Amino acid sequence: MEERAAIVPTMAEVSSSEIASRYEAGETIFELRRATGYSQRRVRTAIATCGVPFRRKGRRLHRSMTAERKTVR
């Protein structure tokens, strides 16, 4: 039986920090899942481990769109 290589802790930290940075830059958890092939739980754990706060769920509106909505009402 072939042995699997263990993940080196520094590699895991780099991956977590990269995921967190990309999330902070605006990528969604869904986009990060697709890009990395990781599960939602793994992506969320990586983000939380780096201390990045989660955004609210749902579609984000651009600031100008929310301003327009306020003036229409």
What is the reported pLDDT for 70? Answer: 59
Residues 37/39/41/45 CA torsion (nearest 10 deg): -20
Q: Where are the alpha helices (DSSP H) in the chain?
A: 9-24, 29-36, 40-49, 63-72
Please provide the size of the chain in residues: 73
What is the reported pLDDT for 19? Answer: 95
pLDDT digits 0-9 by tens, 59-70? 666 665 555 555
pTM of model > 0.75: no
pLDDT digits 0-9 by tens, 15-60? 899 999 999 999 999 999 888 888 999 999 999 999 999 999 876 6
